[in-house]
Chains A and B, each alone.
Chain A
Amino acid sequence: MDADDLVRITRMCGFCGFCEHVCPTYSIVRRRHYSPRGRVAAVERVARGGSTTKAVLESLYTCLLCHACLYECPTGIDVAELVRDARALLRGGGAEQHDAGKAVAQALK
């Protein structure tokens, strides 16, 4: 998906939070950027070309791509697919994977 497609899909998120209880990372790290709805917001930021802060990378690169949240989302957003595409955008856009790796390592400390 290109950036426009990503923005279109992320706009469907109602921020209801119904996705959170099945998310394996959110169940351990009770922070919204470790939850699917937080990740949708991170994807939207990347797709719109907004600032890619360390927390945005942490959010995107800690997703386990398990798709558990897909079955909880009222609008059927496949967050794992969005995250995968956002990561590809980041790579294409020149963001260093090295930095992303460091962000993850830092986050999991």
Chain B
Amino acid sequence: MISDLLPVPLIRTLSLTLVITSVLVVESRRLRVAAAAYLLQALLIVALLAAFASMNHALYWWAATALVTKAVLIPWFLLRYIRRTGGVEVKPLVGFAPSVLVAAILMVAFFRLTHGQAGLLVPSALAKEEVLRTNLAVASTVFVLGLWALLTRRDAVKAVIGLCLLENGVHLGLVSFAPGLPETALFGVASEVVVTVFLLLYVIEGLFKEFGTTDTFQLRTLRW
């Protein structure tokens, strides 16, 4: 049993906190708070990866990479950008209460799904381990919350934060899908997110100068 090797209660606590930080990232309309919540989430992911690392030592490398990319570089880019263009998000499409409700429903649904159907994704004995299923549920929730943010938020910076959230979900999910992935692959996957965020913020800064706003609903020069 892989679970014997792992600090299961610690992983549970970290996972739950992770979901809460995701909701905070999506819901906070003060971008500085959202970025700080993202930083907190990044630290939790680093801790989780380290907790899982006893089953694959490559995960230590990944935890280190995540620390540099997610907890240092990306928040730094975000905060540097927010300081220049003002810190309040453009009003989102969906308000606070319905949004939190959706998050809760998604979470419950994914717990049920991953506990019933995990074998569908990867038919290995490992994927049926309780702790990895829980991780998969958390990862899918974070992923879908990121997608939710991308779909319902009008602010371009918030969309980037949503994208980061989505990537966090995927990266966390990889631990459950493919615990044996070698570090070169993980390094490639993690470093591309940083470049993506850097480029997107650079383009958004250009947009802000041209359009005077980061509201993506104003981007209507190109139709059809």
Partners in one complex: no
Which residues of A pack against B, CB within 8 Å?
Answer: none
